[in-house]
Structure 1
């Protein structure tokens, strides 16, 4: 009997010690369900961060074709995405935005301009113009911006010199200086020369001024088609905008540019549907300027 009693006491004591140990373990460890929630939440954050990093890496690879680009808010120039945005680059026909600005602020829109032989000899034949045709300044601006006609840019340059007795190029550089586009230089009105150069940082200043002070210029650039009238014959002509974004509801305006030296350039102003701020995008040297711009815009809107 004594032996059985001692055996019972030992077993009972062991059981009590086991229960005490279990109780202490429960007290010193968090609730399993809470711990699982913590783990799940941490995993979720880690997954999001990884996806974000992955998207950024993929994005960098996709846009690497463009040697330089800038995406920034128009109002204050705050950078969103960029690559070599301080790089000096040949402007090509983006030059025509400054050409249009100086002409718009200096000449009467109703002024008639005759296209001379020298203008027709400029490289390119966009718009199909002929020597001797006469158009209003207003219609010439439409043609120059929509189809990027070098003939028209040259004709306007000649008309400006004749009317104002000052070189249009000089006036364009003076306007750039006024806008504090300190890294910008113009040597012709067409953009054909590789010496027409600027930076993405400078071009956002031009775009801001156009939006705030001369929105009618951007208005031309976003139209799918423009109509012009030859004043002697009264024949109307429709010209289709070469900018693929023209007519897009998000697109406020912009300008294309291409030369062999510059490759594909494009500056654009967008109004993202769920944002109160306008976004400026400049792409320089791209094989496909529209595709590169669209990738950047889709990544940030």
Structure 2
């Protein structure tokens, strides 16, 4: 944990959110600033595509696919209804263009084409979506398709949407290069020839809200109007999720209300001067000392107007450690306090694996020390 996450769902009863389900979280700490029926299962519509984009970006990062790969559109992918860019069977587009179609125009046909490109079929891709949801702790989510078209059993919650949105923008911040495009043209390359097609972002906050960074809208008959809205002001990044709004205007109004509330109360403390860590003594190891490091930077979200200058740090480390030890193993913490209250901590871990000394190692050490002593004595005599 960077810091102990806040939960302020009852902090401001004056907020008026018309949608039946909503949540507001801070990205870095995961602190919950507001929630309303955040665990009620609902149809998510095209906000589903947050998970689709997450798996695509993951595939790119792992080298399974590349942005300049050519993706061939199948008959099935081209048959998708709802929001689409009218891809034709046999048409090819790059992964980069497909991502634009998904992020900007919410293209159902592009989603299925990418699912097939990554996993061979939409069915296998959806299995991966559900596996990822489980991995992220999205306990009230079940995906049936990759694009969010209404389907029995295809449902999630505002809280779960915030979790996958957080994962996407944290691990792959360059998704903003796609989600913030307002308008752009793509070119269809088909047997009939080339033709231009205009993409216009379904997320109106991209133009209407100065702190917007993305992320995804959605609307169907069952889901009504939904949005996962991400925004950044100074060092604070927020995610506002709205589900089930009656119309598009209301979902954006609710999102802006939550984001404005969050930016009004949040300040982020980052420790840029963490104490220097010296090598720690090792008992019964092949080496006398071991290098150690912080597992991550410390970040703490304040909503009370606290004085950051009063934050104190306490190093919690043993004088020596016992071999063996694995790289990344936690051996201590740097704890942070504001007054008497502990506000968080950072784990301190081994930089490298340390091995336990064998009998051969001990003999080698003794001989080395003996030889070193003889050399010192000889030097003194000379």
TM over 0.5: yes
Higher helix share: 1
| Superposition RMSD in Å | 2.4
Is the contact made by 1:91 and 1:194 (CA closer than 8 Å) also made in structure 2? no
Distance 1:123 1:209 in 2: 28
User: Aligned-pair distance for 1:212?
Assistant: 1.9
Closer/same/farther in 2, CA of residues 194 and 215 from structure 1, 3 Å limit: farther
Q: In structure 2, list runs of 5 or more residues that go unmatched.
A: 1-11, 60-64, 264-382
Closer/same/farther in 2, CA of residues 282 and 250 from structure 1, 3 Å limit: same
Partner SS state of residue 205, structure 2:
coil
Cα deviations by residue, 1:47-80 (Å, 9 ceiling, x for unpaired): xxxxxxxx954x43xx2x3111111212222222
User: Aligned-pair distance for 1:181?
Assistant: 2.0
Partner SS state of residue 256, structure 2:
helix
1:122 equivalent in structure 2: 80
Distance 1:297 1:177 in 2: 27
Is the contact made by 1:74 and 1:204 (CA closer than 8 Å) also made in structure 2? no
Q: How does 1:100-115 map to 2 (within 5 A)?
A: 100-106=53-59, 107-115=65-73
Higher strand share: 2
Give the count of matched residue pairs: 240
Scaled by the length of structure 1, the TM-score of the pair is 0.72
Distance 1:138 1:159 in 2: 13
Q: In structure 1, list runs of 5 or more residues that go unmatched.
A: 1-54
Higher relative contact order (CA 8 A, sep 6+): 1
**1:159 equivalenced with 2:117 (yes/no):** yes
Closer/same/farther in 2, CA of residues 230 and 86 from structure 1, 3 Å limit: same
Scaled by the length of structure 2, the TM-score of the pair is 0.58
**1:191 equivalenced with 2:148 (yes/no):** yes
Distance 1:225 1:93 in 2: 19
Distance 1:74 1:180 in 2: 16
1:214 equivalent in structure 2: 172
Distance 2:170 2:83 in 1: 32
User: Aligned-pair distance for 1:125?
Assistant: 4.8
Closer/same/farther in 2, CA of residues 165 and 156 from structure 1, 3 Å limit: closer
Distance 1:165 1:268 in 2: 26
Closer/same/farther in 2, CA of residues 104 and 279 from structure 1, 3 Å limit: closer
Cα deviations by residue, 1:88-140 (Å, 9 ceiling, x for unpaired): 22111111111122123222222211222222221225323333321011111
**1:241 equivalenced with 2:201 (yes/no):** yes
Runs of 4+ in 1 over 6 A off after TM superposition: none
